[in-house]
Structure 1
Amino acid sequence: MLELNVNNETSRLRAVVLGSAVNNGPSPTIDEAYDPKSLEHILAGSYPIERDMVDEMEAFNAVLKKYNVTVFRPELIENYNQIFSRDIGFVIDDVFIKANILPDRERELDAIQYVIDTMNPAKVVRPPEEVHIEGGDVMLWNDYIFVGTYKGSDYKDYMTARTNMKGVQFIKDLFPNKIVKEFDLVKSKLEARDNALHLDCCFQPVGINKGIIYKSGFREEADYLYLVNLFGKDNLFHITRDEMYNMNSNVFSIDTNVVVSERNFTRLNNWLRSNDFIVEEIPYAEISKQEGLLRCSTLPLIRD
């Protein structure tokens, strides 16, 4: 039986579900785009091709294997995008929470059922239907659970709004001993440079006390200042609008001193190294065209 344990973003990783780009299906049509960045590349004819994405994911897999992480992959669904395993579920402490994802992505959960079957059934939770919450919006920081949301009255009009306030309340009820803090994120249907699809698109902790942050991803300055006060301004790496667009905050920690990052994130990677991180650089620029990156492709199950 899998002994689930995750209570932050950076402790030593032991087991993870890494998504898959195999048999990814045809490039989506304009009407099928879920987010403005994918739409941009569909219109430009630069949407990523399967072979390139498979190569990128294998580079990620190789790094995980190098650190002796147990890696599960989803079972193959023909002609289907299964890259972003973070969206479909997440672990808090020793509880696996299935996400209420967009209805046509339900099959992605079925593809990791063989992993879920190895968990204690009493520790597998499915929120009620009106609760919207995705793993990219849930970030653990020891006693804290940070949750990205969208509080606009036009929530239902935004396919890019993935976690509602009922989702925040659900987490509060499930983990009464944690400090649950929600963050109201900027959403856009049309401009990817102004769309924080999930919380990990504009913030992520690294190491023991540091983080990567994009100030303009938060609708309320108070939310941004909350993190500045918690981490300390000198401990936060502030990314630009273009760096946010290229998903610089969506790196992935294997340990408190090991970060997997995209090889083109020069400014970030130099900052990480100057703060004594080991940076495992891999190519992931093609996958980033779908408005997701390294954290989005992973579902951690066990951290020390």
Structure 2
Amino acid sequence: MELNIKNETSKLKAVIMGTAINNGPTPSVEEAYDPKSLEHILAGTYPKEPDMVHEMNCFKQVLDKYGVTVYQPEMIENYNQIFTRDIGFVIDDVFIKSNILPDRERELDAIQYIIDQINPQKVVRPPVEVHIEGGDVMLWKDYIFIGTYKGSDYKDYITARTNLEGVQYIRDLFPNKKIKEFDLIKSKIEARDNALHLDCCFQPVGDTKAIIYKRGFREEADYLFLLNLFGKENLFHITRKEMYKMNSNVFSIDSNVVVSEKKFSRLNSWLRSNGFIVEEIPYAEIAKQEGLLRCSTLPLIREQKFV
């Protein structure tokens, strides 16, 4: 398999999509990985497997409609395998295995049959001190954007998924790319103030535009960098509530095709007014786990690089 991922939005040819089948029981409070899941566990509103399976089937139908080759993980009994973006990612023609939370190592094993189809010299695994997850890694032109957390209390935050060693690892692996890290706001207890990954507060769409949540960045300078890079007229600013609902976590199938949650009415209207085809699907139940459409995908091949 010849991997090719140079941006977030070129025509998608092949992707690993998660699965909600055999998802297991509602986690205990102690098992919650993020504050949004915890909130729904405590409220008794944690999503049910049939609802999540339905939502993912709707997503797969859209991918099938556009001729995308969809791979899925091998089944693990009673285990959450929805968020494949966490466990690996592709830059150019290199597959990078994430150093994820130890409890989730089995998820990597479940996609090994796909990794086995890739040239072994193009598959890397960072050393153990390097933490990095796909939701924090974003490609745009000659940039690699990386979400991180620079607080001295990094080790105390289960929501801090990519460390500065992770940023340096990518810098060393791709010396010809421009690496820009963003210090993200984190919370263990309030999902409305927690950017679990970079794609929870920012994501490019098309060739020139992006969705952004200003308060997702700990340093205003990081937000201003993106404002200057994209231009204010090309940014769709989402609110705290929209960030909580995961409005920045849509998914591009092509430079003019975006899959979005059907309730994102303000965002979807903006996308259409800017010439995008918006494929609306239900995904609000999966969103209760602080992940949405981008989180559920691990793109392997996009057709080309836009200029």
TM-score category (smaller protein): over 0.9
- The question of 1:191 aligning with 2:197 is answered no
Distance 1:180 1:53 in 2: 35
- The question of 1:131 aligning with 2:130 is answered yes
CA deviation after TM superposition for structure 1 residue 247, in Å: 0.2
Distance 2:125 2:136 in 1: 16
CA deviation after TM superposition for structure 1 residue 142, in Å: 2.0
Alignment match, 2:275: 276
Map 1:234-273 onto structure 2 (within 5 A). Answer: 234-273=233-272
- The question of 1:172 aligning with 2:164 is answered no
Alignment match, 2:284: 285
Q: Which amino acid aligns with 1:35?
A: D
Distance 1:284 1:17 in 2: 18
Alignment match, 1:45: 44
Distance 2:8 2:297 in 1: 11
Alignment match, 1:35: 34
Q: Which amino acid aligns with 1:230?
A: L
> Percent sequence identity over matched residues?
80
CA deviation after TM superposition for structure 1 residue 6, in Å: 0.1
Alignment match, 2:217: 218
Q: Which amino acid aligns with 1:251?
A: V
Instruction: Give the SS at the match of 2:55.
Output: helix
Deviations 1:108-150 (A, max 9, x none): 0110011000000000000000000000000011200000000
Instruction: Give the SS at the match of 1:188.
Output: coil
Q: Which amino acid aligns with 1:267?
A: R
Distance 2:124 2:62 in 1: 31
Distance 2:267 2:68 in 1: 25
Map 1:95-134 onto structure 2 (within 5 A). Answer: 95-134=94-133
Deviations 1:263-299 (A, max 9, x none): 0000000000000100000000000000000000000
- The question of 1:23 aligning with 2:32 is answered no
Distance 1:175 1:230 in 2: 21
Alignment match, 2:4: 5
Instruction: Give the SS at the match of 2:8.
Output: coil
TM-score normalised by length of structure 2: 0.98
TM-score normalised by length of structure 1: 0.99
- The question of 1:162 aligning with 2:161 is answered yes
After TM superposition, which residue ranges in structure 1, 4 or more long, deviate above 3 angstroms? none
Distance 1:13 1:228 in 2: 27
Alignment match, 1:230: 229
Alignment match, 1:55: 54
Distance 1:58 1:279 in 2: 17
Distance 1:214 1:89 in 2: 25
Deviations 1:217-269 (A, max 9, x none): 00000000000111000000000000000000000000000000000000000
Distance 2:104 2:35 in 1: 18
Map 1:201-216 onto structure 2 (within 5 A). Answer: 201-216=200-215
Q: Which amino acid aligns with 1:286?
A: E
Q: Which amino acid aligns with 2:290?
A: E
Q: Which amino acid aligns with 1:76?
A: M
- The question of 1:152 aligning with 2:146 is answered no
CA deviation after TM superposition for structure 1 residue 15, in Å: 0.1
CA deviation after TM superposition for structure 1 residue 196, in Å: 0.3
- The question of 1:181 aligning with 2:180 is answered yes
